[in-house]
Each structure stands twice: as structure tokens, then as C-alpha cells.
Structure 1
């Protein structure tokens, strides 16, 4: 007996900072929906596109383009940093969103993002329930910071972690080669506002305390300048050189960010960060007299598809596929999360978790993952992190020597509502 075709369409939107594998999740969503006879619309530039009724018809894309999407970094439909407040404070925007969903017969809303996006998806589910509109809202996990609650890890993190560990190991070889007559200290800045997961991943580059990175600075530990400088001097005297990895979000004992870029705050109320590596380099040079180099990889950490983790790539597609399956089963206000059943050998599965248990919660590094002296990772952290960066994801290269990435047509859907004035 043939399976009945599901009613309505599915709307997919990307949110916040993109990752090397967020498009792999999008490909997982679209491929699974197509297999089940569901039309997928995508919002241009995240939730803003949904509010503006700027939607694209993914059915206009070829199967080859969707397959290529799984190997393309960035956000194929555009993303945005735009936070909806509470249902009470932003009710007009939520109701506008519901109007757009009604106008295009959207019965399944998949929001691919982090903590704030999970919160938005949960609130939309509550509003739809209030208006008795049949809508399944699914949050789809994404963040390189690995700070989502409930899920063991988050798609996007494993690839950024692999890039970080590889970059630090390669840079360390450079520093070691030049240390006799040139650079003695190298400072690498990793993303991570409140959680030091990416900084911790750099610890995979070395196997013992004398191997780079010899010093890691975590946002979970207060930055002590005197202790830091003393540790740098100690390492240089013992090893001959020192690699420092610092999370962008490190704070002093009073809770002030060590590197506040002075750029105000973003739509989520987050202080604009960036520059901790140059700050620390200056302190080391002035206090210890060593020649120092520093780097701020910034977007490179989340866009490096050429060195994506196979584990991460597979998990990114799996959560997209599961999100569609949950929606079509009538599950609502849930997120497909990754559950680790074993670390050795590494085994994982996808399970649904209530959105309210994910929304606006933040997972920081466990105390047992940080070395007692505060400057490195423990064996427990290594056991957790290593499986996440394993394997290489397939990537096709052209004759020009560059990766073959796809650009979608993003054919717009005809608008049915008056322009949004919000």
C-alpha cells in the first residue's frame, strides 16, 4: 500500500553564524523531504526572510545541486543574527510569521541554529498551538562553539575543532623551526564566548605538556596575567618556544572580557569580541621581551570545508534527515540531538529532545576536562574530543586546483501578503 503524501510544505531556515557543514544539514533536510514527497521552501537570510516573505523554492534545484550542497560551506540560503523577543514583547512579529506560514501552507518549520534559534522555534510552536494552526516546529542543531545543551556534540563543531587542531600542530612546527633566532611565542585565538570547546580542541595537537599548545586559556577560568606570563616564561625556558591558544571569551577575575573590541553588541546582546591574541602577544613582548607572532583565524574556523571532519559531516546530514522524519511523524517542539553510546569504539545515534530543554541553556566545559593548573586539557577531554575530528569528508576538486562548490538558483516564491513593515 502506497504511503499517503504528507499535507502542506516545509519551511527551512538557517540562523546565526554558519559552519562548514550547515549546508550538509540543509542537503539532508531537502533530500529526505523529497524522498517523502514534501516540497521544501527556504527562507532567505534566516528568520528575516520568513518575516519578509522572501522564500525560495528548492524544488527548482537539481538533485546534483543538492548533493553538491552537502560539500559546500557557508549558508546556501543566507543566515542572519536577528533575535525575536518573548511572545508578549514581539507578538506582532510572531503573528506575522504565522501569517506567512499560513499563506504558503507551511505545516513543518525547521529552524537550523543554536540556543536562541531553539528558543524561537519553541515560541513559534506555542503560538501555532494558541491559534490552533497545525504546525510541527523542529529545532535543528548547529554551532561551532559546541555549547548547545542536551546534545553530546553539535554539528559544525567537529570540523572547526579539526581545523583548529591541525592549524595549531602545523603552526607549531613553524615556530619550533624558527625559535632559535626568531619567534619564541605564537598566540592563536579560538572562537568561544563563554565555552572553551574550540580552545580545548587545540589541545589535540599535542600529546604531552611540552608539545604545542603548551598553554590554553579557557573562558571557564579567570585570566590571571601574572600566572600566564610566568607560565610562558617557564615553557620557553624548558622547550625553547611556546604556543598559546586563547579563547576569545577569556575574562579577568572581575568578569570583564580581556579583549573587548569596543564594537557594541549584536542582535543577541553579545559583546563584539576579537583581538585577544594581539593583546596577549603585546603583553608577552613587553613583559618578557620575546619575539611574538599571533593570529586571529576568525571566520576561517567555521568556513574550512576543505578539512571537515567526516564524523561532523555525517552527523550534520543525520540531524537534517531526522528533523524531517520527526516533523512528518507529528512531533513538535523537539530537536534531533546526538547521543553518544560509546567513545571506544565511537558510537552515536540521533534522538529527539524537548526544545525547552535546549533553548537558552549553555553547555560549558566540565571542570574535569580542564587540567588542574588551568592551562591544558585532561585525558577525559581528549577521549571526548578525538572521535569528533576523525575522518575526512569527500570533496571534489576542479582542474583549477580549487574545490567544486555549488551556488543554488534560489528561485523566489511569489509573495502573497502585503510587505512587512516591521
Structure 2
């Protein structure tokens, strides 16, 4: 009898991660000769360790199909790294115990670079502990910082949202700037990579309109130079929109702002760049301003998702399964850009070793020489990723997002304590 498959979600979720989930579920069920049942772990790898396994056979088929247009993480996500197998062997012993109890032969982990590291550890665990398990990564991150792949599922929709709200907010500021707000500061996500901040520049219908300065995570913040550019922009246009990456760095490389520190840098909660920058502008220039942080909204706005992004997320989920059927192991599907104009893409595979805990920032040639805008090459790269609309169904004026029941399988293993601090 073919063994069962287990799917789980990890890290910050996106507007399209559930499209990948549906791609995995649908493809597994299309290959009964290669797979038994398909389950989902609740709250990522934590659900595996806790033996909280969702029985997808108990879910309404229409609800599962609706995952393709539902934001958030339908099965729950987590931020949790497996320890070193030599220092924390009990975690891996527990994984084997749970996998064996539920006859799991393939594990699909949907996440970013850190999640690919977890998938790689599980793939290596099979050889180390004499337990055959296929571990496959499914790409996801709004930060667009996964290596090897041309783009990361989740980014295109977040980029489309940011470019849209910047264009709309700019019209608001433009209409009031002669007597009111002259500066609007928007903070977007991006720990090490400024891709989301760069996407804001797509809001410009032509050069310099709306007037905008972008502060990237890749560039060090020069206060005097920034203020000079800001004042010059306001003198020329009357107002300015400033978009800042949450991962903006000081001249010495430290973070410009931190909301909550953590011993593990990847888990340090960033934030506060917008209000701090706004206070600096207010003190140094006296300009009236407003600031905003899009925060979770940028990664959950499914109502304005990019059709390209939805299709790529779904395709990556299906490709993860098709790769296993073809005999592949320990890999992640990647998106390949076959042509830029017209935009054409296809799916390939890369070993988990090439993407595990590897971050890819924006190339310097995508940032203008002054450090506050994007080049034409960046526009040519970004624009195809936000194309097309894929709106969810609406009822009584609001989008319809069905919720799964989440019924768990009966536990077969003893309790296991997981420390998450």
C-alpha cells in the first residue's frame, strides 16, 4: 500500500499560500498509486511534534477547493526551527515516531528559506535515523528573498497591493498638500530585502509622479542626504511619499528601528521605522505629515491578489507532488522566467541545499544611483509579477473565505512537550 503524505505551512503567511496547499492536496489525490491519504499538520512543524494531524477526508471538498482563493494559513503556521540533530535528538526521534504512527512517507513544507532548512533537516533525518521519508519544500514568502527561484509565491500579490495603496494614498496627499499634509510615510515589510519597498515605485504612472523616495533594506540610511532629497522633492512637487523597509539600517549596519528584540535575529520583530522616521522629518523640517504601517494587511489582501501570483503558487504546489511522482526528493519547485516581454514562466526544481536559510536581496543595479528609486531593469522585472486580477467570490459585499473544520486524527503517540520560547 502506498504511504500517506503530510502537508504543513510555516512562517509568515501570504494571500496565496493556500493556493499552494490546494495544489498539493489536489495533486496527491490525483496519484492514488503513489500516495495513500493526504493529511495536514496544524501549526506547521509544531503540529507534527505535537501529533496534531488534520484529517482532510473530513473536510468539505468545496471548502478545500476554495483554498485557492482564501488568504491566511488555513492549517495554521508557526515560527519554529528544529534544533541541531546532535544536540536535540529527541525532536527528530519524535518526528520519526509521529511519521511512523501515521504511515507518512512524504512531507511537504510550505514556507521561506528557514522552512526550507527545516525540510532539509527532515530529509537528512531519514538517512541518519534509518527512516525513509521524502521531504519537499514548497516556496512562499512576500519578501521575495528566496534564492534560485525568479520570484517567490506571495510576493506578487503583496507587491500589487502596495503599489495600489501607494497610488491611491498619493492622490489623497496631492489633493491636500497646499494647506495640509506634505509628507506621507509608509512602512512595508522587508527584513533584509527591499523588494516590497521597490514595488511601491510601480505606483508611478510616469517619472516622478507621484513624487517618491524609497528607503531600501539594502542601503544604509544617511539622514542628511535623505532630508536634502526630501526637501528638494517637496520644493519641486509640493509633497512627497516616502516608502521605508522595516529592515532599514543605520550607517553602522544596526537596525533603524526594532519593535521587539529576540535572541534569534530572524525572530526579532521589526517595526517602528515609519513613526521614527516621521518624527525625524517633523523635527528637522517642520512639514505636516502622516505615517502608516501596512503590516499584516500587505500579506493578507487576497481581494486584490495578482493573478500571476495565484497561478504560480498553485503550480508550485502541484509541481512539488509531480516531482515526487517522477522520483525526485529533497527539492523545492522554482519559478523560471522564460521571457520578459511577453512574460512567460515555467516550473523547475532545485535541491533544498541551494535555498535552505539563503536570502536573496535586490541587486544593486535595480536601485538608482542616488539610492532612492528603482531602475528600468527593476521595473521590467517587477511589473509582470503584479499582472491580472483573481478576485475571490463575494457575498453581500464581502469576500467569501470558507474555514476548514480542522478535525484531528486520533493520537497514537505519547504526549511530547515542545518549548517554543
Q: Same fold by TM (over 0.5)?
A: yes
Structure 2, unpaired ranges of 5+:
none
Structure-2 change in CA distance of 1:337 and 1:62 (3 Å) = same
Name the CA distance, whole Å, in 1 between partners of 2:149 and 2:387: 19
Alignment of 1:125-140 (within 5 A): 125-140=123-138
Stretch of structure 1 that moved more, 141-150 or 278-287: 278-287
Counterpart among 390, 400, 403 of residue 404 in structure 1: 400
Alignment of 1:115-154 (within 5 A): 115-154=113-152
Q: How many aligned residue pairs are there?
A: 415
- Once the two structures are superposed, residues 194-233 of structure 1 have per-residue CA deviations (whole angstroms, 9 ceiling, x without a partner) of 1000000001001444213510000111000111111110
Name the CA distance, whole Å, in 2 between partners of 1:328 and 1:25: 17
Match of 1:101 in 2: 99
1:165 matched to 2:163? The reply is yes
- Once the two structures are superposed, residues 12-66 of structure 1 have per-residue CA deviations (whole angstroms, 9 ceiling, x without a partner) of 0000100000011111111111122241110001110000000001122232111
- Once the two structures are superposed, residues 237-280 of structure 1 have per-residue CA deviations (whole angstroms, 9 ceiling, x without a partner) of 0001000000000101101111122x221766432211111111
Match of 1:46 in 2: 44
1:390 matched to 2:387? The reply is yes
- Which ranges of 4 or more aligned residues in structure 1 deviate by more than 6 Å? none
Counterpart among 401, 410, 416 of residue 414 in structure 1: 410
Stretch of structure 1 that moved more, 119-128 or 269-278: 269-278
Helix, strand or coil for the counterpart of 1:140?
strand
Name the CA distance, whole Å, in 2 between partners of 1:33 and 1:310: 24
Counterpart among 300, 318, 321 of residue 321 in structure 1: 318
1:88 matched to 2:86? The reply is yes
1:342 matched to 2:342? The reply is no
Structure 1, unpaired ranges of 5+:
1-5
- Once the two structures are superposed, residues 171-206 of structure 1 have per-residue CA deviations (whole angstroms, 9 ceiling, x without a partner) of 000000000110000001010011000000001001
Name the CA distance, whole Å, in 2 between partners of 1:331 and 1:64: 30
Alignment of 1:253-292 (within 5 A): 253-261=251-259, 263-265=260-262, 269-292=266-289
Counterpart among 336, 351, 355 of residue 352 in structure 2: 355
Match of 2:25 in 1: 30
1:203 matched to 2:201? The reply is yes
Instruction: Quote how far apart the aligned CAs of 1:332 are.
Output: 1.1
Name the CA distance, whole Å, in 2 between partners of 1:141 and 1:213: 34
Length-normalised TM-score, structure 1: 0.96
Name the CA distance, whole Å, in 2 between partners of 1:307 and 1:142: 18
